[in-house]
Amino acid sequence: MNLLRSIVLSLLASLGLLAVPVTARAQVTSGEQNPHFADTPSRVDAASLQKKATQAQARIHANKDDRDQLMSAIKTNEVALAKQVLLRNGFTAEDLENAKITLRTGGGKGGEDEIEISATCCDPKEITIQRSLEYFTK
How far apart are alpha carbons 131 and 15 in whole angstroms? 65
> What pLDDT score was predicted for residue 20?
46
Least confident of 2-11, 53-62, 81-90: 2-11
DSSP 111: T
**Cα–chain center distance at 132:** 24
- Coil/strand/helix, residue 103: strand
The string of pLDDT tens digits covering residues 2-52 is 655 556 656 555 655 444 444 444 444 444 444 444 556 678 888 999 999
Q: CB neighbours of 74 closer than 8 A, spacing ≥ 6? A: 82, 103, 104, 105, 115, 129, 131
pTM score > 0.75 for this model? no
Cα angle 102, 54, 82; round to 5: 35
**Could you report the per-residue pLDDT of 106-132, keeping only the tens digit for each?**
765 555 568 999 999 888 899 999 987
